[in-house]
Amino acid sequence: MILVPRAMPLGVRYREWLLRLARLEAEEGCPRLSELKSEMALYLADLTETWSLEARGQLLSALVKKLCEGNYGYPPIPLTEPEAAALARWRYPNAYRASFFGTPGVSADADASIRAAERSTKEQLGGYRIDKALLKKMLRHSMVARFGEPSEGQYIRQTEELKVRTEFDFGVRSGQFEYIQWVETRDGKRLLRHGGILALLGWPQTRWGRLTSEDIPATASLVARLCEEFVDAVPEMWRGSGLADEPNVSR
């Protein structure tokens, strides 16, 4: 999400980074997304269980393009035919409705929809309960190891002419927690919002909702790694955007 209109060149570089990450994620077998305990990530695993790595990459690329165009207002990038075909099979968040009402064309992916509905029922019955105090403690431990002590509840990394802030929200609805990262100037002007790894699935926020207490240590490690990956990528985005020479944006 671009927060300052003149920062669009930074947003375009951000989209390029997301598309590269989408290709890498698919080629490596979706290691980040497969560790993520959220309904959307689990739906991806169910839906693409028998897909080729190439087909998964086409789906992720299509979802990133649609997110950046539809939600963020970036200049559109046309989908390729394989990307459009992969996207046509992606029916989240209509998975539950499709499994119960027989949405036309969904039969090939009915198993994914049914499993998603089963997980939703489990959540409604209280099947996902965690030790929130332990979750916060472990997340803090993992984040401090990479970013140092937080300032006013946020983890901050200075990178060239910018700051990148990472913050957590433990009061989200229909979930357990989420994280958001902000790219801003030294004087605090926010330029870009990164909603996390679920951007690869066309979603503007990354929210966990299927954790058990046993999942907490691995999740804390994953979250810190994902946050640092984005922070490490920001300098290249900034250099490529050309905004360093635009004083009204970079100061």
Give the total residue count for the chain: 251
Q: 53-66 vs 81-88: helix axis angle to the nearest 10?
A: 90
d(CA 80, CA 54): 13
Backbone angles phi, psi at 155, to 5 degrees: -100, 125
- The overall average pLDDT reported for the chain is 85
Question: What value does the mean pLDDT take over residues 130-157?
Answer: 94
Tokens matching residue 111: 């198993």
Instruction: Look up residue 114 and give its two tokens.
Output: 């049914």
| Lowest mean pLDDT across 23-32, 74-83, 124-133 | 124-133
Give one DSSP letter per residue of 14-56, joined into a string.
HHHHHHHHHHHHHHTT-HHHHH--SHHHHHHHHHTTT--HHHH
Alpha-carbon gap, residue 77 to 85, rounded angstroms: 16
pLDDT tens-digit map of 4-54: 778 899 999 999 999 999 999 999 999 999 999 888 898 899 899 999 999
* Three-class DSSP category at 103: coil
**Which pLDDT value is given to residue 171?**
86
Which structure tokens are listed for 193?
């919002």
* DSSP result, 160-205: TTEEEEEEEES--TTSSEEEEEEEEETTS-EEEEE--GGGGGT-S-
Sign of the alpha-carbon torsion through 107, 57, 54, 29: negative
Comparing 50-64, 84-98, 204-218, which segment has the lowest mean pLDDT? 84-98
φ/ψ of 93, rounded to 5, equals -95, 25
The model's confidence at residue 247, banded by pLDDT at 50, 70 and 90, is: low
Give the mean pLDDT of 202-225: 93
Tokens of residue 52, six digits: 């080729």
Domain range list for the chain: 5-250
pTM of the model: 0.85
Flag whether pLDDT at 113 surpasses 70. Answer: no
Q: What average pLDDT score do residues 168-194 get?
A: 90
- 48-62, 105-119, 224-238, range with the lowest pLDDT: 105-119
Name the more confident of 119 and 238. 238
Report whether pLDDT(92) > 60: yes
CA 63 to chain centre: 11
Res. 128: pLDDT tops 50 = yes
What lies within 8 Å, CB to CB, of 224 at 6+ separation is 139, 142, 143, 145, 146, 147
